[in-house]
Structure 1
Amino acid sequence: MKIDHSLPIEYSTKQNGLNIFGFWVFLAAEIMLFATLFTSYFTLEHRIGNGPGGAEIFEMTPVLLETLLLLTSSFTIGLGIHAMRLGRTKAMLTFFVITLLLGLGFLGFEIDEFITYIHESATLQTSAFTAILMTTLGTHGAHVSFGLFWGAAILIQIKKRGLTPEAANKSFIFSLYWHFLDVVWIFIFSFIYLKGMM
């Protein structure tokens, strides 16, 4: 395996560059998935039937906390990648752990939010609005859950084998995925929650 030391470690082999390109293609498919969910949401958001609407079930405090946790995690994953490029493995691992803990906190708030919605009779069966709301939020939450397991697996690999070009490549790709989830959340926060509270 030929390593090009003039490139950042995550791009240092030809295979690594191909992996990153392939992941960008995967993210394009993910964009289409969430675009479809948002389009469905905008089509169905006023079809509440006898159920509650967004203004009745959305609460600003937990949503702001979720947003703060996820956006902070985007910052810490960026610091982790910066530390990785400087060869500071311990700092990188620390920032990755903080990122995963913030993601876990986000997920905890989201689960609590789902429980609150169910107690307020906002379930998948209540109306078209609640069905698409739960589907959109649930899809994002499932992606965050997957990211937590993926990030933990990368941490274990680096702890066991050290920061190799392959591990750096996986870490960088993971950071792209995590940033993508944060961007999706900004759209959810802006166009579902804020719009729904008005």
Structure 2
Amino acid sequence: MTNLEEEFAFFAKATEERSAEHRKAITTAVGNKWWSIAGSLLRMELDSLIRVSYLRAHSNDRAQILFACAAGLGFGIPKQDGAGIKRIPDSVMVPRGGWEQRVYDFGNRFVHLTEAHNYTERDPFLALPEVDRKAIVEYLDHYHGGKSGVKDLSVDSPFDDVAQYAPHVLAKIAANIRHGVEALGREITLKRD
């Protein structure tokens, strides 16, 4: 096994362990209406997905990034002088205009202290512009409509109804991570051969 394969194995195990933890925690968070925690969990799961996707799309930087991750330096490219890394910002990794950006932006409202934390006074979903609510409802209905425990949504649905989709969204992101990690592993193995 090469260093790259060992570093990839470390990264793959870290993403799976993190995802498994999130899948367990999301049910408790939603069941208790801990919306800040549920939103943060979705955002962290997406964080793993965008990193896996970035590694797949940037094969020239892959070995350096995996080395930095395994060495505990973070997700970035080691600096030439050996003093740390040049971090790759999320703004570079999050695809613009798609569902990933919507989950990222909405999840950030719960990761960072914002008006969304005051959800008992102001509904964070209804506070979004109608065009954003419409896009979110269309996405959720398309991918998760009809699943147990969720109601049909409209642009006027309360946040409590929208939040019931969180475990399903997290499971979908987790499946995308697994698929991406498996594909990344095949790419790394093929490069060796």
Higher relative contact order (CA 8 A, sep 6+): 1
TM-score, structure 2 normalization: 0.32
TM-score, structure 1 normalization: 0.31
**Which structure has the larger Rg?**
1
Which has the larger share of helix?
Answer: 1
